[in-house]
Structure 1
Amino acid sequence: MDSNEVAQSRLPLLRFLSFVRPHLRMVAGAALTGIGKFTLPLAFPLAFKYVIDVLLAPQPKLDHINLMIDRWCAGFAQAAHMTPTAEHKLVALSGTLLLVYTLQSIASYYRNYWAGVAGNRLIFELRCKLFAHLQQLPNTFFDRNPSGAIVSRVLNDVQQAQELVNSALIDIWMDAASLGLVVVILFAMNWRLALVALSIAPVWVALMRYFSPKIKVVSHRMQETLENISGEVQERVAGATTIKSFGREQHEVYRFRESSQYLCERTVDKVKLAARQEMFIQLLTRCAPTIVVWIGALLIIRGMMTLGTMVAFFTYLGFLYLPLERFAQFSVVTSSSLAAIERIFEFLDIKPEIADHPLSHPFVVRRGAVQFENVSFSYSARNGASGRTTLTDLNLNVPGGCKVALVGCSGAGKTTLANLVPRFYEVSSGRILLDGKDVRHYTLKSLRDSVSLVAQDALLFSASIRDNLLYARPDAAEAKLWEALELANLREFVEELPAGLDTVIGERGVKVSGGQRQRLALARAFLKDSKVVILDEATSALDSESENLIHEAMEHLMEGRTVFLIAHRLRSAINADLIVVLDRGHIVETGTHSDLLNRGGTYARLFREQVRVLVPESALTATGTRSSMLA
């Protein structure tokens, strides 16, 4: 790994640490109590050494460690009004160890509690920040990123990042403090054996530097694969009816097995790397004690070290090598967490293309007049690449209260044109005026509060009818809800439901029919009561009866409002004040229904084609109704 790669890998980590700052006191408390949890047991080997060298097999001369413990035990015994005999010193030593382990248990509790609280709060804030950031991103972001991939980063990657809090920010300090203290004690007991015990350190460092980058790369691939699988599952669940209708269940099972197999293979790659790393680390930490015992035995034979010192030293080797093994485990967890953090910041680094202008104001739309001045737009331009322009040099003047029908073949730019008004997309050139002001000079909230949208595929949330209606106007009184339902010709249906407004309609409104779902979306738009309304093929999914009810309600509700009606059923365009015909991103015709029919242009051709589909040629000729239907 070169210096540039190291710098790049550290940057996301440093940015992640900024989320730790508000919880630094709790993290520090967890780290300190964790240090206590790991270092307090270090007293046991020294106590064992004292028991062997002083109480069981007294040495003629006490070393400085045994002398220090002996003074402590004698003082403890005297404080308890006991004679400092060997038996009483043993009681004092046992009482001290009981106190040490009691403190360790308390430290362990606070370490686990503070670490858990800090980690969960940190991840809560990171997940909320990521979700809030996603709400600010333009529609182009959601056009080019599958929903499953977005969900995976918000849930899976953020959860994986939490492991870094426990491993790198808390546990690593506990092990580092324990390791440092053990090294000091080992050198204090016998510096020769200490050097032998630490001789594996260079090899350990080399192994860590070799395996950690590889594990990180594999972890990144795993998370990308999981992201793709999340998208596939979400898409297949949403399309369950389509899958069944074509009898493709087994095909989808096969596809899912293929994707899952790839994830399994990447997981096995990670497990294999982690297992190899652990194997080499354990080989080091198992061979080194053998050498220590051999040299230590020679020192005892030559009278250069006591048996108690040897026993204590050997016990401390476990405290020395266990952190080294845990550091290897940390590297696996940290590599996975860093890969997840990098993916999180990939999304956080995407700057919102559409935001409030520094000079924007919360203007109130009073007339709803809309003007398009030399407007061009390209989806590719928004994505930072070259490609086909969707709209080109459009000029259109829509007076306030005008009902405009946007007509054209699929892909002509009808929906795109309407979506530029509330700034779901930003124009590539030109400008759009609303009541004489550039829409970019409105705050996004005030602009979108002034525009209601009923999309082609009306989205309803998995909540009650009441909650879905209140989404448009949270402070609306119940009487307003019933009024909106009545305008959408849906009041009678809701009144017949056992739970009424509190009926839960299921995910995406699956518990109601398509027509009812469309009318609920219309009722929500009616409740919003904005000056500009966009109906994106709002009646194309309805049966004839429902469509008639909607048309009747719209005629009354939309008076005095500017309406952009996008429909392939040209029946909806007949009564429009203005019909705008688009073809390949250009406005090719404008006028009323009768004017455009008389011109015999694109609109007349589209209208004749729809009439020919609805009423066969032979029937029209036989009954002489062709001219009357086109009039």
Structure 2
Amino acid sequence: MPYFKKYKNILMLDLLCAGLTTVSEMVLPLILRRLTDVGMNNFSDLTMELVLRLAILFGILKIIDLVAGYYMTSVGHMMGAKIETDMRSDLYTHLQTMSDSFYNETKIGILMSRITNDLFDITEFSHHVPEEYFIGGLKILVSLFILLNINVKMTLLIYIMIPIMIYFASKYQRRMKNAQKEQRVHVGNFNSSIEDTLLGVRVVKSFANEEMELEKFETENEKFLGIKRKYYRSMAGFNTITKLFDGLMYLILIITGGYFMMKREIEAGDLLAYVMYVTSLLNTVKRIVEFTEQFQKGITGIERFEEIMDEKSDIVDSENAVDIGKVEGKIEFRDVTFKYEVDTDNVLEHFNLKIRPGGNIALVGPSGAGKTTICNLIPRFYDVNSGEILVDDKNVKDVTLKSLRDNIGIVQQDVYLFSGTVLDNIRYGKPDATDKEVLRASDLAGATEFIDNLPEKFNTYVGERGLKLSGGQKQRISIARVFLKNPPILILDEATSALDNKSEQVVQESLEELTKGRTTLTIAHRLTTVQNADEIIVMEDRRIIERGTHEELMNKKGRYYDLYTKGGLLDKLN
């Protein structure tokens, strides 16, 4: 209903046109009734003048019918398409606001199905639901009024059958709805499984597991066929019920019509009109029956749309959130405790940390020590359970998410490049950047040299997820992207750990240039990459066990010293 409200004028005109086409259609039996009665009872009154008057009346009504029908088919359908577009836009916008925890629990394939398949049928649904039921209701009421004037007894018998038919048909209708919803759920899971396999096709091939993946696919494919079978059986039962009552109504019409003709309680013209109105009534019921499949698809799509829209993000701007503005880069953790799920252990407990503006801090420690968690809490990808995080002495919960994240740049180990050109991916850091600014960012990231050797330079297509580029090339593009953004706070999440030694050296030089003048948090896998940090923080068991410069920690000969002298790989801590 909220989406109809925006197009209420179009909807009202569409329903007016639906009314005009209905009236035009329902006048024809009255015209034929008039001709038949005059021809059989008062033949002398059947003049060419009468015939022409009735013909002109029908012609005018037919023109009205054509014009109204054109509007309903063109503008009415476009209203449905606009509603579908609005709903898809709202759904996509809503998904952009959801937190990381939502995406951790939801398969992307399912979300893709919600955005695309579930809303495909909204166009037909939005247009035809008000139109079909308005026409159906109008025909039933007008037919009832006219038929009661022809013969009350016959009409009561016919109309008693309609609610009985609806009662039995509704049982199959519910089964159709449940099967349709089950089908949509399965399509989402099916899409997600296919997406997972195709994106990991190299892994599948490397383990020669094509047959196993094919078996999984066939199992899901057969399950999908079973759901379809259940749906079509329900639809067959629904159609059979309606056709049964269709036949019963005509049977009643033949018996009672013949009986009342014998009793002279109904004229030939009246019976002709009566048959035409009952036929029109039954065609209306059939039309609604035929529309039932589309109706169920639309209802299922709307219900699944509502399910996502009713999901509330746990990371939102507070009511009085303010724009943080351009920050200096001071960061403070005050007595922070955090865990990812209600039934899991704390990742951080009463954690405290201060970072001065422009400070270069390195976080080292084994997996699960809380390093990545610290970096995820600063831009509010998650919210702390207790304590607070301050940026420039402002609680991150009291500032808008956009203004906070505008001041933070992140370079991750697993670089994500969008399908598009090199230029598109660098410019993502600042969508309104000029070509000159992009080139400068590329130069600072040490990426221009390899980009100039690409077939179309900056306009080279990188492939899905950047598959056409090496790990080092993708990483330098991601660094150029952050250079273009130019944030005062920088987070480096094991940015070089997945690279070979040569690529790591090139990327490390780019990162050293990037960190100049910025508050930097570095999660390090190789200790040799963090020797120049202002302070190195060693974490273990959700707490800080050592901190200091490289020289201080080496002189202390503690945990960091043991690790460094045994090869400098953090895996040794595990």
TM-score calculated relative to the size of structure 1: 0.86
Q: Out of 404, 408, 418, which is 1:451 matched to?
A: 408
**Residue 114 of structure 2 is aligned to residue 153 of structure 1:** yes
Which AA in structure 2 matches 1:375?
V
Letter matched to residue 198 of structure 2: V
1:25 to 9, 33, 38: 9
Answer yes or no: is the 8 Å Cα contact 1:208–1:331 preserved in 2. Answer: no
Give the one of 435, 451, 476 matched to 1:478: 435
Aligned to 1:45: 29
Quote how far apart the aligned CAs of 1:543 are.
2.3
* Aligned mate of 1:306, from 243, 246, 267: 267
Q: 1:303 to 1:269 in 2, by over 3 A?
A: same
Counterpart pick for 1:585 among 528, 542, 562: 542
Paired residue for 1:58? 41
Please state whether the residue corresponding to 1:404 is helix, strand or coil. strand
Equivalent residue in structure 2 for 1:335, among 296, 307, 331: 296
Shift of residue 221, structure 1, vs aligned partner: 1.3
Matches within 5 A, 1:378-527: 378-380=339-341, 385-527=342-484
Task: Call closer, same or farther: CA 1:387–1:35 in 2, change over 3 Å.
Answer: same
1:313–1:476 distance in 2 versus 1, CA, 3 Å: same
Structure 1 residue aligned with 2:144: 183
Q: Which residue number corresponds to residue 322 of structure 2?
A: 361
Task: Structure 1: give runs of 5+ residues left out of the alignment.
Answer: 1-16, 61-69, 71-83, 616-631
CA displacement 1:513-562 (0-9 Å, x = unmatched): 22111110011011111111111111122222221112223223312211
Aligned equivalent of 1:277: 238
CA distance in 1 between partners of 2:59 and 2:187 (Å):
49
Following superposition, the deviation at residue 421 of structure 1 comes to 0.7
- After TM superposition, the structure 1 stretch with the greater mean CA deviation from structure 2, 466-475 or 128-137, is 466-475
Q: Alignment partner for residue 127 of structure 1, among 71, 88, 91?
A: 88
| Match runs of 1:89-108 below 5 Å | 89-108=50-69
| One-letter amino acid of the counterpart of residue 324, structure 1 | V
Give me the whole-angstrom Cα distance separating, in 2, the residues matched to 1:591 and 1:516.
33
Alpha-carbon distance change, 361 to 98 in structure 1, aligned in 2, over 3 angstroms: same
* 1:593-615 CA-partner distances (Å, limit 9, x unpaired): 33334444443444355458999
Give the match's secondary structure for 1:19: helix
In structure 2, C-alpha distance between the alignment counterparts of 1:355 and 1:302, rounded to whole Å = 77
CA positional deviation for 1:436: 2.0
Indicate the RMSD between aligned Cα atoms, in angstroms.
Answer: 2.3
* 1:267 alignment partner, one of 228, 231, 243: 228
Query: Gaps spanning 5+ residues in structure 2: where?
Result: none
Question: Do structure 1's residue 316 and structure 2's residue 281 form an aligned pair?
Answer: no
**Conservation of the 8 A alpha-carbon contact between 1:183 and 1:320:** no
**One-letter identity of the residue aligned with 1:589:** E
Structure 1 counterpart of 2:54, which letter? L
1:557 is matched with which residue?
514
Q: Distance in 2 between matches of 1:599 and 1:260?
A: 62
Q: Secondary structure at the match of 1:422?
A: coil
8 Å CA contact retained: 1:53, 1:59: yes
Say if 1:215 and 1:335, in contact at 8 Å, map to a contact too.
yes
Pairing partner for 2:210 from 236, 246, 249 = 249
Residues 162 and 583 of structure 1: is their aligned pair in 2 closer, same or farther, counting only changes over 3 Å?
A: farther
Residue 526 of structure 2 contacts residue 569 of structure 2 at CA under 8 Å; is this kept in 1?
no
Does structure 2 retain, via aligned residues, the 8 Å contact 1:27–1:114? no
Structure 2 residue matching 1:379: 3-state secondary structure: coil
Q: Distance in 2 between matches of 1:372 and 1:581?
A: 16
When structure 1 is superposed on structure 2, of 358-367 and 288-297 the one drifting more is 358-367
Matched to 2:163, the amino acid is: P
**Deviation readout 1:427-453 (Å, 9 max, x if unpaired):** 111111112222222221221111001
List per-residue Cα deviations over 1:155-178 (Å, max 9, x = no partner): 222223444313322221112112
Report the secondary structure of 1:276's partner residue: helix
Q: For residue 126 of structure 2, what is the aligned residue in structure 1?
A: 165
> What letter corresponds to residue 203 of structure 2 in structure 1?
T
Q: Secondary structure at the match of 1:511?
A: coil
* In 2: Cα distance, 1:560 partner to 1:128 partner: 40
> Matched residue of 2:417: which SS?
coil
Show CA shifts across 1:58-96 (max 9, x none). 358xxxxxxxxx9xxxxxxxxxxxxx8623322332332
State the AA in 2 paired with 1:506: G
Q: What amino acid is aligned across from residue 183 of structure 2 in structure 1?
A: M
Matched residue SS, 1:376? strand
Report the number of matched residues: 572
Superposed CA deviations along residues 318-354 of structure 1, whole A, max 9, x for unmatched, are 1111222333344443333333222222221222222
Q: Which residue of 2 aligns with 1:8?
A: none
Percent identity for Structure 1 against Structure 2: 30
Which residue in the other structure is 1:223 paired with? 184
CA contact (8 A) 2:420 2:461 kept: yes
What residue number does 1:629 align with? none
Instruction: Find the aligned partners of 1:417 and 1:458 in 2 and give their Cα distance.
Output: 19
Equivalent pair of 2:77/2:123 in contact (CA under 8 Å): no
* TM-score, normalised relative to structure 2: 0.94
